[in-house]
């Protein structure tokens, strides 16, 4: 087992704005597994992904990664977890507009003051079909191209787990097929991948699907 989330609860806001986004959610993910997380809009999918990735902290419960507690009160360890162990593909890309494609791709390494292995970075760039875009800025790219940069950035530092929020949500079906092939390749390389998706095509590529409903995992 690589990841264990235990009795996770997450509350946003207070008073009449109080939202219980996750209600006592427990989940384990094995090393090398490719897991789909489905559910309606607002069911808590992104919240769950952010919590297991150490981007957001739960109100209750704990996340254990590779036998170690992801401790919300240790910001330094949390930042190291986010930077080294996890790779994120966010729903809204979160590319840095002032950086080129190449610099966005290398960002996890730059932030960590690590020297990129140029050959591997070139390989990722060509895998994603972005060679000709390397010096462009995000605003010059299509949605699919931005998403590909985001995927490259999520895997450039060889993370233990790749966390993806609607990675093909804004893509046409050809581009979606290409992106799914990239995920298949990562899966073949025994990467652990969690993909939030509305799309059955994406979920069908995964070994297992969990469905969230109103902050809880639906029992099958």
Confirm or reject binding of residue 192 to Mg ion (CB under 5 A). Answer: no
Task: Indicate the residue among 45 and 157 with the shorter CB distance to ligand ATP.
Answer: 45
The verdict on 175 binding Mg ion (CB under 5 A) reads no
The least CB distance from residue 107 to ligand ATP, in Å, is 23
Sign of torsion over alpha carbons 94, 110, 63, 194: positive
- One of 10, 22, 34, 46 touching Mg ion (CB under 5 A): 46
Start-to-end CA distance of the chain, whole Å, equals 21
Whole-angstrom distance, CA of residue 167 vs CA of residue 179: 8
CA distance 63 to 71: 8
Strand order in 60-65's β-sheet?
A: 19-29, 3-12, 60-65, 68-69
Q: Which of residues 17-46 bind ligand ATP (CB under 6 A)?
A: 19, 21, 39, 41-46
Tell me: does residue 197 bind ligand ATP (CB under 6 A): no
Chain residues that interact with Mg ion, rule: CB under 5 A: 46
Chain residues that interact with ligand ATP, rule: CB under 6 A: 12-13, 19, 21, 39, 41-47, 91
């Amino acid at each position: 087992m690589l990841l264990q989330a235990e009795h996770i609860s997450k509350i946003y806001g207070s008073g009449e704005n109080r939202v219980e986004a996750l209600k006592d959610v427990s989940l384990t993910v094995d090393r090398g597994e490719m897991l789909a997380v489905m559910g309606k809009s607002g069911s808590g999918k992104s919240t769950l992904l952010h919590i297991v990735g150490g981007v957001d902290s739960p109100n209750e419960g704990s996340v254990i990664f590779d036998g170690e507690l992801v401790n919300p009160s240790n910001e330094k360890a949390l930042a190291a977890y986010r930077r080294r162990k996890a790779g994120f593909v966010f729903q809204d890309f979160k590319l840095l507009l002032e950086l080129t494609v190449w610099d966005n791709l290398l960002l996890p390494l730059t932030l960590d003051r690590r020297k990129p292995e140029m050959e591997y970075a070139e390989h990722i760039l060509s895998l994603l079909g972005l060679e000709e875009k390397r010096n462009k800025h995000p605003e010059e790219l299509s949605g699919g191209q931005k998403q590909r940069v985001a995927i490259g950035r999520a895997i450039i530092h060889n993370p233990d787990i790749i966390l993806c929020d609607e990675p093909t949500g804004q893509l046409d079906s050809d581009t979606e097929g290409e992106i799914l092939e990239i995920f298949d390749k990562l899966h073949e390389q025994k990467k652990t991948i969690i993909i939030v998706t509305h799309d059955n095509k994406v979920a069908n590529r995964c070994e297992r699907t969990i469905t969230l409903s109103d902050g809880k995992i639906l029992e099958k």
